Amino acid sequence: MQRRKATFKLYPNAVQQQTLEEWTRLHCELYNAALQERIEAYRKVGISISYYDQQNALPEIKVHRPEFIELGSHALQQTLRRLDLSFQAFFRRVKAGQTPGFPRFKSSTRFSGFCYPDLAGWKLFQQGERGATLRIGSGKDAMMIRARGKHRFAEFKPNDLTITRRNGQWFASVTLRVPETSCARERVDQQQRGIDFGVNDWATFDNGETIENPRFVRNELPRLAQLQRQRDRKKKGSCRYRRLSKQIGKLHERIGNLRRDFLHKETTRIVQTCAVIATEALQPKNMSRSAKGTLEKPGKRIKQKAGLNREILSASFGMAHQMLAYKAEEAGTRLHLANTHQLKPSQRCCVCWEIVPKTLSQRMHQCSHCGHSMQRDQNSAAVVLIDACTPGTGVAARPKPLARQRAKPRSKTRETPTTIAQAI
Ligand SMILES: [Zn+2]
């Protein structure tokens, strides 16, 4: 069994929306009260209150505050568990010598939502292509909320439900337990591809094919700056200020949606056509390190680096890698992540395997040893592909193919790097 998430957009009517907001407010109140209880108990008498102490107090709370009853006891427990998790994370980080922030009180307008940890209290009905109805609660008080969305699984068992609010819109996220056979993706081709991800072209393949970088943030940047300038002229907290904040939030959401859509489509296409995918194990955090430097030793070209960082983060290689990883597993594709430090794909020649140092601005690979000349990113994609075809290299991340899709083992031995590079 695998776990997969499916998200549905909710279309509550006015009454339902009010109820959802009221319930979110109550969950938030519970969260804040539980946090306060923990803080006060520790300050006044030095006791640490555990999750179970708080869970056991729930029935009593419901006696005094009957409005909590219809929220469902498991959902209430889940909110307490959420607080417990944040305390666990806090203490774990303290122990590790980091300086985490203490769990905070949350404002009900920013509280993201609530969760039903099991099947109690809700049910999702699917209708037609992408229509759905979500039932929350039971009996004659149950809410039937219109929803839209679909997933690709034929067989599944729902596991839990999370209701979230983003920018005034409501979403229902359902965790599904899906059998492996239902997860499997079809593969239409058996190519072996090396990929180099980058900012100029989002992806370059070893055969010279490229995927253009859509640059969603850069395209929307003038509009974003304009809105932010407008907002700065308004009085903070006023109606106009809030209206513009909402528009800015919407714009950010749009950028995120476009990006996710792009990444899903491209990674699916890559995985569907490839039996072997080779790429570098990236560390975007290192790539986008700030150039600011320290006060005594300020960095150079800070603005340019900030712009590059924005582009690196916007291209979201991390998200692309995650998607490639799980989709490759579903399709029985071998994903090879080369060790960048050992392999140095951008510096290595894919024909003679020698290191040819070059700076970031040099876009052509011109080998001084064998005279091989190639576009820089294409060369480095070819290098990682050779690395993938060489046994005993690369770092982990070779998911096992699904049983029914397991391909015949390919015996590929490398005599010299040259022969393989030419074969490819
Ligand atoms: Zn060479």
Ligand 1 center to 419 CA (angstroms): 13
Give the pairing of strands 2-11 and 169-178. Answer: antiparallel
Express the helix, strand and coil content of the chain in percent, nearest 5 each.
45, 20, 35
- State pTM to two decimals: 0.80
Which CA distances in Å does 200 have to 166, 197, 211, 311, 377? 32, 9, 10, 9, 10
Ligand 1 center to 34 CA (angstroms): 65
Axis crossing angle, helix 239-273 with helix 216-232, rounded to the nearest 10: 170
How confident is the model at residue 6, as a pLDDT? Answer: 92
Ligand 1 center to 308 CA (angstroms): 30
How confident is the model at residue 239, as a pLDDT? Answer: 94
Coil vs helix vs strand at 221: helix
Ligand 1 center to 373 CA (angstroms): 8
How confident is the model at residue 12, as a pLDDT? Answer: 95
φ/ψ of residue 288, rounded to 5: -100, 25
Ligand 1 center to 361 CA (angstroms): 19
Ligand 1 center to 355 CA (angstroms): 8
Ligand 1 center to 423 CA (angstroms): 16
How confident is the model at residue 291, as a pLDDT? Answer: 61
Q: What are the average pLDDT values for consecutive 10-residue runs of the chain, which has 424 residues? A: 91 94 95 95 92 93 92 93 95 92 91 92 88 87 90 90 92 93 86 88 90 89 94 94 93 92 94 90 66 65 77 82 90 86 84 84 86 89 87 47 44 38 40
- Asked if 83 and 28 count as a contact pair (C-beta separation under 8 A), the reply is no
Ligand 1 center to 356 CA (angstroms): 8
How confident is the model at residue 292, as a pLDDT? Answer: 63
- Asked if 358 and 365 count as a contact pair (C-beta separation under 8 A), the reply is yes
CB-hemisphere CA count at 13 Å for 269? 8
The Cα 172–Cα 154 span in angstroms is 20
User: 331, 2, 7: which is closest to 156 by C-alpha?
Assistant: 2
Ligand 1 center to 64 CA (angstroms): 78
How confident is the model at residue 355, as a pLDDT? Answer: 86
**Token pair in block for residue 321:** 């890698």
Ligand 1 center to 383 CA (angstroms): 11
Which CA distances in Å does 205 have to 280, 342, 395? 12, 21, 20
